[in-house]
Structure formats: C-alpha cells, structure tokens
Structure 1
Amino acid sequence: MRAIWKGALTFGLVNVPVKVYSATEDHDVSLHQVHNADGGRIRYQRICEIDGEVVPYQDIDKAYDDGEKTVVLTKEDLASLPSEKSREIDVVEFVPSEQVDLLLLDKAYYLEPDSASPKAYVLLRKTLEQTDRTAIVQFSLRQKTRLAALRVRGDVLVLQTLLWADEVREAAFPSLDEPVKISAKELELSASLVDSFASDFEPEDFTDDYQAELRTLIEAKLEKGDALDTSETFGDQEDEESGGEVIDLMEALRASVERTRAARSGSSKDDAPETKKKSSPKKKASKAS
C-alpha cells in the first residue's frame, strides 16, 4: 500500500505521527462507453467555451460565480488556506462508541505509526479499547475539512470519515405516521423467523453476484462475440416480481419460518456428525453496480 497523506494525531499535548492509507479498494469490472452503431470509444474533452480549444488538466483552475462576478481561484490560492496547510488530525472529543450513527460513516483509512517508537500510537489504541470510546477528530484532506471517527480494528487505528449532519436527509414518510397494531403472535413468529436466520457475520462468505455474472458474460462474449445467446450462458431468467402487498402477514411469517427450518434441517443432515456446523440460509451480496 502507498501512503496518501502524512501528519500527526494530536490530543492534548500528545502527538502521534502517522501515515494514512486507503483501507478499501474497488474490484468492479472497469467498463467504458462506446457508440452502439460502430463500437467507437466515447471520450470526453475539456473545451474552453471562449476559444474552443481543448484545455490540459494542468491548465485548469477553479472559479466561483455569484451571479454577477466570477472569482478565479488558482491552485496557489487554494494551497494558501491555513486549513489546507495543516498536517494535524485533531481529537476534539471522545464519545461512547454506540453514539456514532452508522449512517454517518463514509470512507475508511488505516493509520500507521510514523516514528521510531510506536509507543504513543499503541497507548492511544489501548486507551480507546479499554474505555470503549471513539475519538471524534477533525482534519483537512484534499481541499475539505473532514470530520471523522477514530476507532480500533485489531491492532490498527482506523480513521473513518463522517458525513456532516446536514448531509443526512431526514426520513419523513407519511405512511409511518399512522399507528400500526402488532399482535403478540405476529411478533413471536417474526422473532422465530429472525432466529432461523441467526448467524455470525463473516464478510468473506458473501460475494458480489452481479460482478461475477458480468465477468462470465464478458468471457463468453470474448469467445463467441455478438452471436452469444445469453440464455445458453445463464439459462432462461424470469423477472422477479416486486412491490407486491402481503395479504396475510401471519401466514407469510408462518410459511417463512417453516421453510427456513426445513432448509436448516436438510442442511444439517448433510453435515459430518463431528462438525455439527450450524447452517444458515444462503447468503447473497446486496451490492450491485
């Protein structure tokens, strides 16, 4: 991995030099646009509306228009901002970890100690572990002030940027304003259904089905070209119905519980007696590109 930023974590008078690395990466198949008539590559160019010339990226500045005047901001102007020059990740508070709303979580970064001795780094990590607190920090990265949560993952400190409060939309749905009566039996059956799906979360058990199918399609088209019959590759697929109203909720819950119990029972018979591994319904990835 290559560090994308260097700086220091600061809380009180404690200074922890760190290197910052992107914690995630994208493995999606890379596609580009083509003209459907002849397969020609579609390319985008930055063209100046005054002289009609194509402008190299290095010759492009940014500007703000208030409706009457335009102010051009050069790279030097932006680099001169005090926040942009700062190389500090400032801890502003330590909060109970459960108070960090998952909806706010954004991009994740690993922090590596960047000093001869990692003692201050390890001290901060152990303190967060023992107190069950998350550090809320502020820093500047790529011309933005970032709010982030600093937490522990294994032996590493992880910096996870947070959305600002005004970037999260309010969920206001009139359909939820009316009171809904839930019977004890419905709640009991629903809890049974949850229990039938109960498992330990193992991220590696999940795969991106869409990307796997896309790669299969690409390989088949490379082999057979446009003459490919997709039904031969994937079989005849029927569109799944969606949005249907459940007429009998109790019956749907009861049938779901019975089906998952039967599936679990069938799977457990196939397991070796000595393993007694608890089976669970097939896991499918929710991600789709």
Structure 2
Amino acid sequence: MRSIWTGSISFGLINIPIKLYSAVEESSLDMDMLDKKDHSNIKFKRVNENTGKEVSFANIVKGYKVDDTYVVLEDADFEAADAVKTKTIDILNFAQEKEIDSIYYEQPYYLEPDKGAANAYALLRDALQASKKVAVTSFVMRNKEGLAILKPYKNVIVLNRIRWEQEIRETSELKLPPVSKTKAKEMDMANKLVEQLTEKFDISQYKDEYTDNLLKIIRDKAKGKKAAKPKLKVVHNQTDDLMSMLKASLETKKKKTS
C-alpha cells in the first residue's frame, strides 16, 4: 500500500507521527467509456472555455467567484486558513461510539506509526481498546478540514472520516408515518420476526455477488456466449393486512430452518 497523507496525532502533550492509507477499495469493475460505433476509448480533456484549447493540469489553479470576478487561491492561502491543522490530527475529546449515528460515517483510513512512534501509537490504540471509547478529531487533508473518529480495529488505529452536522439533510420534507400508529399485536409479531432473523453479524457471510456475476457475463461474452435473461419475481399487489404477512413470514422462516 502507498500512503496518501503524512502527519501526526496530537494526544495531550504526546505527538504521534503517522502515515495514512485508504482502508477500502472498490469491488466494482473498472469500466471504460467507448464510442458505440467503433469501440474507441472516450477521452476527456480540460479545455479553456474561451480559447477551446486544452490546458495541462500543471497550469490549472483554483478560484472562488466574488462579484463576477475569480479570486485565485494558492497552496499558501489554504495553509494560512489554519496552518497548524494541515499536518496534525487533533484529538478534541473522547466519546462512546454508540453516540455517533451511522449517518455521519463517510470514509475509513488506516493509520500506521511512522519511525520512532510505535510505542506512543500502541499506547493510544490500547487505551482506546480498554476504554471502549473513540477519539473525536479534526484535521485538514487536501485543503479541506474534516471531522473524524479514531478507533481500534484488530491491531490498527482506524481514522473514520465523519460528516459535519450541516451536511446532513433535514427529514421534514419527507412524507413519513407517525410513530405511534402501529397496533400492539402487529408490533409483537414484528418483534418475533426480528428475533427469529437475528444472528451474530459476520461480514464474511456477505459477498458482492453482482460484480462476480457481471464478470462471468463479460468472460462469457468474450467467448461469444450470450447471457441468459434472469427470471424476476415481480410483486404486483401489496396487501394492507400486515398481520397475515407477518405470520406468513414467520412460517416461511420456520420451514427453511426445519
């Protein structure tokens, strides 16, 4: 793996130099865009709006429009916004992980101790493990301030980027049913179904079957084979009798397990 950012964790008076790596990789297939006529690759160019000429990446700058005029920003301007944070993951406080709703989670990264930081790194990791808490942090990466939590995963500290509160949309515009309308008998039956389907979570049980199936179709097409059309079970009507559907669901599960 190649590190994508270097800096340090600020933990009280302790400074822990680290390297940051992406913790995930896409399982989807990397598709190219082609011309339908001759299957030539489609290329995208960065073009000057006025001249129509291509602009090299080295000659592209960032700007913010103020009163119909662009103010061009340089790396020094971004650093000046908060120079201290540009290379530091500041631990702001510690919290219970269950207090952070899953809607805030965005992107996980692995943190690796840099030279001479192994002991301090292990101390923070083990303290998080023992306290069963997460560290709430702020940092700047790619000229953007971020909020994140630090938590132990196996023997590594994971930095999980989380969204700011203002990035979460309100639900007031959604048409949602009131909470207290569910009948007691239906709720009891729903709880039984939930309990019947409850099992210990094991991520290894779940596979990206769609990508595997798509790759098989691609390989078959390369050999001249046509993909068979899948048979889809379409439900045309939805009954309002929740109790009968819940009972049927429970019976179906019982038959599968017997």
Partner residue in 1 for 2:257: 264
**Residue identity in the other structure for 2:189:** L
Tell whether the 8 Å contact from 2:79 to 2:86 is kept in structure 1 after alignment. Answer: no
Instruction: Say whether residues 1:240 and 2:234 are aligned partners.
Output: yes
Cα–Cα, structure 1 residues 155 and 123, in superposed 2: closer, same or farther, change >3 Å? same
Tell whether the 8 Å contact from 1:34 to 1:41 is kept in structure 2 after alignment. Answer: yes
Partner residue in 1 for 2:119: 119
Q: Secondary structure at the match of 1:254?
A: helix
Cα–Cα, structure 1 residues 53 and 173, in superposed 2: closer, same or farther, change >3 Å? closer
Distance 2:45 2:136 in 1: 41
What is the correspondence of 1:68-87 to structure 2 with a 5 Å cutoff?
A: 68-75=68-75, 77-78=77-78, 81-83=81-83, 86-87=86-87
Distance 1:136 1:179 in 2: 32
Tell whether the 8 Å contact from 1:83 to 1:140 is kept in structure 2 after alignment. Answer: no
Instruction: Say whether residues 1:89 and 2:89 are aligned partners.
Output: yes
Instruction: Say whether residues 1:230 and 2:227 are aligned partners.
Output: yes
Cα deviations across residues 22-54 of structure 1 (Å, max 9, x unaligned)?
111112111122222332322211111222211
The percent identity for this pair of structures is 31
Tell whether the 8 Å contact from 2:20 to 2:110 is kept in structure 1 after alignment. Answer: yes
Cα–Cα, structure 1 residues 84 and 53, in superposed 2: closer, same or farther, change >3 Å? farther
Distance 2:33 2:84 in 1: 36
Offset at residue 159 of structure 1 (A): 0.5
Tell whether the 8 Å contact from 2:9 to 2:15 is kept in structure 1 after alignment. Answer: yes
Partner residue in 1 for 2:56: 56
Unpaired stretches in structure 1, ≥5 consecutive residues? 266-289
Partner residue in 2 for 1:277: none
TM-score between both structures, scaled by the size of structure 1 = 0.81
Alignment RMSD = 2.2
Tell whether the 8 Å contact from 1:138 to 1:148 is kept in structure 2 after alignment. Answer: yes
Offset at residue 95 of structure 1 (A): 1.4
Partner residue in 2 for 1:11: 11
Partner residue in 2 for 1:253: 246
Offset at residue 132 of structure 1 (A): 2.2
Partner residue in 1 for 2:192: 192
Distance 1:96 1:46 in 2: 46
Tell whether the 8 Å contact from 1:83 to 1:145 is kept in structure 2 after alignment. Answer: no
Cα deviations across residues 204-233 of structure 1 (Å, max 9, x unaligned)?
111112211211111111111xxx5332xx
Distance 1:117 1:164 in 2: 30
**Residue identity in the other structure for 1:69:** T
**Residue identity in the other structure for 1:251:** S
Greater Cα shift, 124-133 or 95-104: 124-133
Tell whether the 8 Å contact from 2:16 to 2:117 is kept in structure 1 after alignment. Answer: no
